[in-house]
Every structure is written in C-alpha cells, then in structure tokens.
C-alpha cells in the first residue's frame, strides 16, 4: 500500500488509522485465532501504518504531519461484557502505542504529532459483529442512547488536522451524552 502511495502521490503527509475489529472472543472461552485476528487488525496493522507513514514523512522532510489513531472508549475503560474484553485489551494497546509513538516522535526531534481519538458508542456494524449470535443485543445497544455519528468523529479529525503545528492534541474521548461508561 505505501509503495503504491509513493508512486501515485509521492508519499504520506497525514495518517489516519481507522481500522478496528471486534469479535465475540471472551477471555475464558475465546478462540486463539480470533484473538490473533483482533490483534492483527487493531494493533499490528495500526503500528505498521504509523511506522510507514513516519518513514514516508521523514524521507520527504514533512516535519509536522499528524498520525491519528482512531481508538475506542474501550481503550480507557473496561466494559462489563465478556465478549468485549479481548477487544478492550487491544484498544488499551492502541492507547499505549499512541503514547509510545508520541514519546518516540519527541525523541526524534520531529514535530510530527500522534493523537488518539477514542469514540464511545458510534452506530456502525461493530456491535452487530460483536453480537453476531444475538443481533437483538446490537439493536438494543444502539437504541439505548443517541449514538455518535461518523460525522462526529470526522469533526474531531478535522479539529486535530486544523490545530497549529505547535499544538499536540493528546487523547480525545468523545461519547454520547447519555452513554454511561
């Protein structure tokens, strides 16, 4: 992907890592293959993209490009739902990776910034995948509060992108007003 970007667009100026996967794989009964899939998408792919974006920016002397990791409120709080515990662990990893990335970028004396945007309940296919064996739970979850919309997350991304180069937006948590978590 990054080779194609280099050929087509000369490189990366901005990286927005927005992949996420939740599977119903509890800690006591989940499948190792499911856990590996979650980690590959939520942690490894995000880390690879951040590394490659940084290398592309560095190569082209882009010194203020943002790397934005779209995380989850689950990266900061553990919900009482066994099906979500491994997903939550992967999102805690994203929180830690973003802070580690900030520290490494600072040590590299670059102005490339790393930000973590952590939405609460957004109406997507995520809950349907997580509760695939019982889809009425997903329906009830999305009806329980006025959910965030994709535009709400996009507005947070625009905020980060529009911040002056000397401003580091750290962790931005966005939740529906009615969501208790």
- Domains contained in the chain, CATH given: 2-20+27-121 (3.40.50.720)
- Measured from the Cβ of residue 150, the count of other Cβ atoms closer than 10 Å reads 11
Cα end-to-end span (Å), the chain? 37
**Per-residue model confidence as pLDDT tens digits over 81-104:** 899 999 999 999 999 999 999 999
Active site residue 159: no
**Per-residue model confidence as pLDDT tens digits over 101-135:** 999 999 999 999 999 999 999 988 877 877 777 88
State the pTM of this model: 0.91
Choosing from 54, 87, 92, 128, the catalytic residue is: 87
């Amino acid at each position: 992907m990054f080779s194609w970007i280099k050929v087509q667009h000369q490189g990366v100026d901005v990286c927005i890592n927005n992949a996420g996967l939740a599977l119903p794989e509890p800690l006591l009964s989940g499948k190792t293959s499911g856990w590996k899939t979650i980690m590959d998408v939520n942690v490894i792919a995000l880390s690879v993209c951040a590394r490659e974006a940084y290398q592309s920016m560095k190569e082209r002397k882009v010194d203020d490009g943002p790397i934005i990791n779209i995380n989850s409120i689950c990266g900061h709080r553990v919900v009482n739902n066994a099906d979500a515990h491994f997903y939550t662990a992967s999102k805690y990893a994203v929180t830690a990776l973003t802070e580690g990335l900030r520290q490494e970028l600072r040590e590299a004396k670059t102005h490339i910034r790393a930000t973590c945007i952590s939405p609460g309940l957004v109406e997507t296919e995520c809950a349907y995948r997580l509760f695939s064996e019982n889809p009425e739970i997903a329906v009830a979850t999305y009806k329980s509060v006025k959910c965030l919309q994709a535009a709400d997350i996009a507005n947070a991304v625009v905020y980060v992108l529009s911040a002056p180069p000397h401003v580091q937006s750290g962790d931005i948590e966005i939740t529906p007003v009615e969501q208790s978590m």
